Structure formats: structure tokens, C-alpha cells
DNA sequence: TCTCCACTAGACAGACCTGTCTGTTTTGCG
DNA sequence: CGCAAAACAGACAGGTCTGTCTAGTGGAGA
């Protein structure tokens, strides 16, 4: 049925899509290859869920921002809950790998711990910083659900990163120090989210240094 | 029209209400005076909003738990948002006054700071502990709203409590120490909410002691 | 005893939200 | 070119949510 074209189809369809793929003069950087719906959905979900909360944002707003049909969402993720799961999974992997990269950029374990916190503090400067995605998502539903479990897994992995560095640094009680660092880590993210005050990263770094120094001094 | 009673009204009305105000044998403690709807609504809101989130819980569930008509909610609070505001206000006053009481139970400022954290740690042991109500409510809506402002006010007041104690304790930089204590405070609440691990209050207390000791040692 | 008035019970409107379904268009590939 | 699979647009069903409204009830005080 490609013969019977609607009357003004060309104009009507070229307007919303910013495709204009092949004009006479080729665009120098042709990076306008539309990424697949699944990726665009995940990106839209990341932006909207992170900024406004998982519950507040409806699927209609997600598909609108992604520029995708609703059926694509349900064929890719099964349900809104599936999209939320994928959103949190992507967040988990992305943040953990960035923190690991920060840690591995320093060979000295103490410097590595400070690099992890500096990596966190750099996030505070983003205009759209809104705290930890797990902390936010977890607040929107009662305890014991799948989001709760995902948040625990995320925290456990962060704590493992800290613990290994604390062992390598020779802390007297590496487990205790790892827990303490996680207190600062969560508290910093939460404080920066609500206060947006430059004192937060300053206090955070000073506290980390003090706690490490104290842990290294004890036998 | 009190003459024309519905057929089985007595049974129908006595069952849901646990009134049974005056039986033959008087109850020794007649504390069953039904508290006014506003109070019952606030109590139900506190339980439900705190446990499951402001957004998740609908007004129907609140009035059902309160045993109150919907019109009473809207005449007392104007809207659901009004009830949420009142819920957060009550939380603010209740928690702040408990922390102040803990601080004032000790004349030595360092002991007072530790008492504030012990007061927080006692909350962790409650079966229904679910973190800081402001942290939870704030996560359910975008930044810049009234809940955001209420959360900042709550945190500012807690920080004032800490700062005054840090000044009295003679900390080298009382502002910095107050910020550090708030990092531990928020991080402890968040960690205890998700992990429910007895290591949290242990690490919390140790971190507070270390940070205070370090702040007192510096000029 | 009578009269307000706060309260209760519940129906209802209107908005919104998730998830399904239909039909059309685009696109990738042989 | 031609076909099949994927993606699009959007209507729609069924449910839930907030907030309003009506009708009736009970108790306190004149």
C-alpha cells in the first residue's frame, strides 16, 4: 500500500522527525543515526525517573521523551516495573564502574579511597544531581520489595570496594572503617541532594581523611 | 429523623466501632474516649506515610485506618497535600524535640553529642523504622517543592543543634564538625533503613567519637 | 425537649495511569 | 524490488486517585 499516499504526508512527516537523512549537501558529522527504542527508553527513564521519582513519572511521559511508541516499551521491558528494574540496573553498573575506575586510578589504597569520594563529589556539581537513585526509588515503596533488594545489593558492592581498600591500607579494623566510609558516602549523597552546599564535599573529604588516619593509627 | 431507624442498625453500627462505651461492668481504665478525627487522621497518616511513602498511600487508606469519614479529612486539612504538610510538621517537631531532650540530658557537650546519636540509634531498633521521613518524602517529588523546603528546614535545625554543641565543646572548626556530624546522622539513618544491620550504630558511634576527638585536638 | 453542628457513610465526577490492541508506516535484508 | 519484522500513532478498557456532594446520625447545650 505504498501507492496511496496521504495528501500532505511528506510535510507532515518530515516535521516531527528531525531525520532529513540525506539532503543534497551532506552533513559533515552524520551522527543522527537514531538509536534503537530500547536505548532511547532507558535514557528517557534515567532522566525522568532520576529527576522526579519512579512513581511520579508515568509511562506516557517516558515514551514521549524517548520519541517511541508505547508498544515498544511493553515489548522491550514487559511492564513499567521492568523498565524501572532496567533503569536501576543500568544505574548500578554505571556508578559502580565509575567508582571502581576512580579507585583503580590510584595505586596507593588511601589515595584510592579519597579518589572514590572525589568521584562522588564531582557528581554533586552536576546541575541535575538528585542523590542516589536507589535511595530515591526505595523511598517510594514499602520495605521488602525488589527495589529494596536491589538497593541492598548496590550498597553491599560499594562496601566491598571500600573494604578491600581498607584491608590494603592496613586499617586496624577494615570492616569497621568500611562501614564508616559508607556512612559518609550515603550521608554525603543525601546532604548534597538536599542542601546543594559546597560545605558538603569539604566536610566529606575531611571526615574521610580523619577516619582513615585514626583507623591506620590503631593496631 | 431519629425515629425511623434502619432495621439492623445496632448490630451494624456496633461491629465496626470498638466503642462499647458503657457495658454493665465498667472498664477499670476508661481511656477509650475516641480522640477527635484530626488526631486520628494524623496518627494514621504517620503510620502509613512513614511506612509506605506519601505517594503510594491514598486518602482512602488513611481514612479507613483512622476510622473517619473522608469529609473530615478535607474539612480538617483541606487537601491531601495539607495532610502531608501536617504529617511532616508533626515529624519535625517530634524528632527535633526528642533530640534536644537527649542533648540536654547531658551537661558535657561531647556527651550531649553522643546522646543525640544514641537517641537516633535507639530508633533503629524499632521494628517499623524506615529512615528519615523527610528523606523519604523528598524522594517522591522533584526538587524545589514545599517538601524540599521543609526537609532543608529540618536539616538546618538539626545542624544548629550540632553546631551549638560543637562550639561549647571547643572544636577547632565547629561549623566543619557540625557538617561532619550531619553526614554521619543522615548516612546512619539511611544505612539503618536499608541494611538493618547492628554494625550501623556501632560504626556511627565510633565515627562520631573519632571526628570529635580530632576536632578537639586541632587548635 | 429541641436545635445545631460535627461527624459518618458512601456515591460520584473527573483526571490520570497502566497495559492492550488495531492499523499504518518504516526499515532491514534477501 | 519485495517481504517480513519492527516501530509508530493513538484509541481504548479497566482501575485508582483526589476531591465534592448528599443524606443521615449522634451528642452537647440552650
Per residue in B167-193, pLDDT (tens digit) is: 999 999 999 999 999 999 999 999 999
C1’ C5 / CA A80, Å = 48
Q: Strand D nucleotides below 7 A of a protein CB? A: 6-11, 16-26
Residue of B nearest to A182 (CA): B187
Taking the Cβ of residue B184 and every Cβ of chain A, the question of whether any pair is shorter than 8 Å is answered with: yes
> Rounded to an integer, what distance in angstroms lies between the CA atom of residue B193 and that of residue B195?
6
Contacts of B184 in chain A (CB under 8 A): 183-184, 187, 207
For residue A13, what pLDDT is reported?
28
* pLDDT greater than 90 at residue B123: yes
Cell numbers linked to B47: 503510620
**What CA dihedral angle connects A111, A117, A118 and A124, to 10 degrees?**
180
**Tens-digit pLDDT profile for residues B37-87:** 899 999 999 999 999 999 999 999 999 999 999 999 999 999 999 999 999
Contacts of A175 in chain B (CB under 8 A): 199
What is the pTM for the complete model shown? 0.86
Taking the Cβ of residue A150 and every Cβ of chain B, the question of whether any pair is shorter than 8 Å is answered with: no
Q: Which of residues 126-145 of A touch B (CB under 8 A)?
A: 130-131, 135-143
Taking the Cβ of residue B81 and every Cβ of chain A, the question of whether any pair is shorter than 8 Å is answered with: no
Q: Count of A–B CB contacts within 8 Å? A: 143
| Among A152, A185, A211, beta carbon nearest to B207 | A211
pLDDT band at B218 (very low <50, low <70, confident <90, very high): confident
B142 and A203 within 8 Å at the Cβ level: the answer is: no
For residue B23, what pLDDT is reported?
32
The candidate with the shortest Cα–Cα distance to A126, out of A76, A201, A56, A182, is: A201
For residue B32, what pLDDT is reported?
54
Contacts of B195 in chain A (CB under 8 A): 152, 155
What is the DSSP-derived secondary structure letter of residue B16?
A: T
What is the DSSP-derived secondary structure letter of residue B172?
A: S
A31-45, A183-197, B47-61: segment of lowest average pLDDT: A31-45
Average pLDDT over residues A151-161: 98
Contacts of A138 in chain B (CB under 8 A): 139, 193-194
C1’ D13 / CA A56, Å = 22
Q: A77-84: long-range contacts (C-beta < 8 A, 24 or more apart)?
A: A77/A38, A77/A41, A81/A146, A83/A41, A83/A42, A83/A45, A83/A59, A84/A45, A84/A49, A84/A54, A84/A137, A84/A147
> Rounded to an integer, what distance in angstroms lies between the CA atom of residue B70 and that of residue B83?
12
Residues 6+ positions from A80 with CB-CB distance below 8 Å: A59
Taking the Cβ of residue B206 and every Cβ of chain A, the question of whether any pair is shorter than 8 Å is answered with: yes
Taking the Cβ of residue B216 and every Cβ of chain A, the question of whether any pair is shorter than 8 Å is answered with: no
For residue B183, what pLDDT is reported?
98
* pLDDT greater than 80 at residue B199: yes
For residue B79, what pLDDT is reported?
97
Contacts of B191 in chain A (CB under 8 A): 155, 179, 182-183, 186
For residue A131, what pLDDT is reported?
97
Looking at chain B, the whole-number percentage of residues with pLDDT higher than 90 is: 80
Angle of helix B109-124 relative to helix B80-104, nearest 10 degrees, comes to 130
Taking the Cβ of residue A155 and every Cβ of chain B, the question of whether any pair is shorter than 8 Å is answered with: yes
Amino acid at each position: 500500500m505504498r501507492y496511496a499516499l496521504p495528501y500532505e504526508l511528506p510535510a507532515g512527516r518530515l516535521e516531527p522527525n528531525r531525520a532529513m537523512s540525506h539532503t543534497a549537501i551532506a552533513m559533515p558529522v552524520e551522527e543522527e543515526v537514531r538509536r534503537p527504542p530500547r536505548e532511547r527508553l532507558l535514557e528517557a527513564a534515567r532522566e525522568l525517573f532520576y529527576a522526579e521519582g519512579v512513581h511520579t513519572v508515568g509511562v506516557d511521559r517516558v515514551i514521549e521523551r524517548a520519541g517511541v511508541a508505547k508498544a515498544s516499551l511493553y515489548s522491550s521491558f514487559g511492564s513499567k516495573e521492568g523498565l524501572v528494574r532496567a533503569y536501576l540496573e543500568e544505574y548500578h553498573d554505571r556508578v559502580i564502574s565509575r567508582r571502581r575506575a576512580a579507585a583503580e586510578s590510584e595505586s596507593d589504597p588511601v589515595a584510592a579511597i579519597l579518589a572514590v569520594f572525589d568521584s562522588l563529589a564531582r557528581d554533586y556539581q552536576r546541575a541535575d544531581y538528585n542523590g542516589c537513585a536507589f535511595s530515591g526509588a526505595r523511598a517510594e515503596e514499602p520495605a521488602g520489595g525488589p527495589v529494596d533488594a536491589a538497593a541492598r545489593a548496590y550498597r553491599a558492592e560499594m562496601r566491598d570496594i571500600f573494604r578491600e581498600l581498607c584491608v590494603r591500607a592496613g586499617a586496624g579494623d577494615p570492616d569497621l572503617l568500611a562501614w564508616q566510609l559508607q556512612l559518609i558516602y550515603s550521608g554525603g549523597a543525601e546532604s548534597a541532594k538536599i542542601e546543594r552546599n559546597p560545605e558538603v564535599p569539604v566536610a566529606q573529604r575531611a571526615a574521610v581523611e580523619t577516619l582513615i588516619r585514626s583507623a591506620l593509627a590503631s593496631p
